[in-house]
Structure 1
């Protein structure tokens, strides 16, 4: 157990902040100022692992005595990744592509501490099946949910019942931070967590 250990979340995502607080209530937030890899032809597991690692490393370099958690999430369908849409037109195009199909959500996790030389990593996948989406339903959904900061152009926890038919695997992974695996990483590093999962 690391008494007095500091944990920093290397992300500005309010969803990751809310999820992490469920299992580790006291932590700091320092968004990493890095350029994420977003090549749509890159293998999703490689992309999320790379992005999580560079986020964690950027913060750890500036806060070497702290434990730093980096995470990255993307959507994969039809042999390509769907990152955050650049605008509303791109969000509409993503929802059309996801309509009536099953896609995979990948999240990469990295926990590092520069002072101790510790680095732990993991990745998680979940599957989401969309309902067939009409143009009217797409417009109704986008009128309710701000999707430009969300991989795949949607948010399962915000009016997900409008667009999602089924899911398999971790819900928290689809939202952006898989809690079971995050808890395992933290506890492996001697950072005790409170209850909370999936």
Structure 2
């Protein structure tokens, strides 16, 4: 069965490829919400919208929609709009823990399949100052990264400890997704038509 990742995120593509799946990508034309709901619900809402949009265009395909949200002290942290904003974000995260939730929706319209889940990780950042922030901003393009950092890019400069899946923090909880996809694809193969 055709598998489509409803994302053009290079990190999600890399993680899904590393998990061993052959897939295509398609950018969903949807607006993401970023406030007004509990942070986990924001991620779930966005993942479902992405999967539903692409599944509507390719009803015979198994479509994966995903969204990752960072929450710190009750605030959702999106992607920084400037390097100054990124420095402020990193400064506010320094020495603190924050939560990262990645939500996934797997959808196939033709077979009436829908699977939705969210995985939570907690990231503990070192207590760092302006020098570390400046150095990190010179090394990493943070403008396309929620929370202004990437655990997989010089993350050891900032991250002290991580509870949960590192793949989840990067943007796609591949262990749980692999388990879900294998189960769904097996069920489709054994479905009587």
Classify the TM-score, shorter chain: over 0.9
What is the Cα deviation at residue 25 of structure 1? 2.9
What is the Cα deviation at residue 191 of structure 1? 5.7
Q: Provide the residue aligned with 1:161 in structure 2.
A: 156
SS of match in other structure, 1:25: coil
Q: Would you identify which runs of 4 or more consecutive aligned residues in structure 1 move more than 4 Å?
A: none
Which residue of the other structure, out of 52, 60, 63, is the alignment partner of 2:55? Answer: 60
Q: Provide the residue aligned with 2:181 in structure 1.
A: 186
Q: Which runs of 5+ in 2 are unaligned?
A: 188-193
Q: 1:76 to 1:164 in 2, by over 3 A?
A: same
Mean Cα displacement is larger for which, 97-106 or 41-50? 41-50
CA distance in 2, matches of 1:145, 1:172: 18
Q: Which runs of 5+ in 1 are unaligned?
A: 193-198
Conserved 8 A contact 2:151-2:169 = yes
CA distance in 1, matches of 2:131, 2:186: 47
Q: Provide the residue aligned with 2:167 in structure 1.
A: 172
What TM-score do the two structures reach when normalised by structure 2? Answer: 0.94
Q: Provide the residue aligned with 1:29 in structure 2.
A: 25
Conserved 8 A contact 1:99-1:132 = yes
1:51-86 CA-partner distances (Å, limit 9, x unpaired): 000000110111111000000001111011111112
What TM-score do the two structures reach when normalised by structure 1? Answer: 0.91
SS of match in other structure, 2:59: coil
Conserved 8 A contact 2:40-2:69 = no
CA distance in 2, matches of 1:70, 1:148: 22
Q: Does 1:6 align with 2:2?
A: yes
What is the Cα deviation at residue 101 of structure 1? 0.2
Q: Does 1:108 align with 2:103?
A: yes
Q: Does 1:95 align with 2:86?
A: no
Q: Provide the residue aligned with 1:195 in structure 2.
A: none
SS of match in other structure, 1:189: helix
Q: Provide the residue aligned with 2:131 in structure 1.
A: 136
CA distance in 1, matches of 2:27, 2:110: 20
RMSD of aligned residue pairs (Cα, Å): 1.3
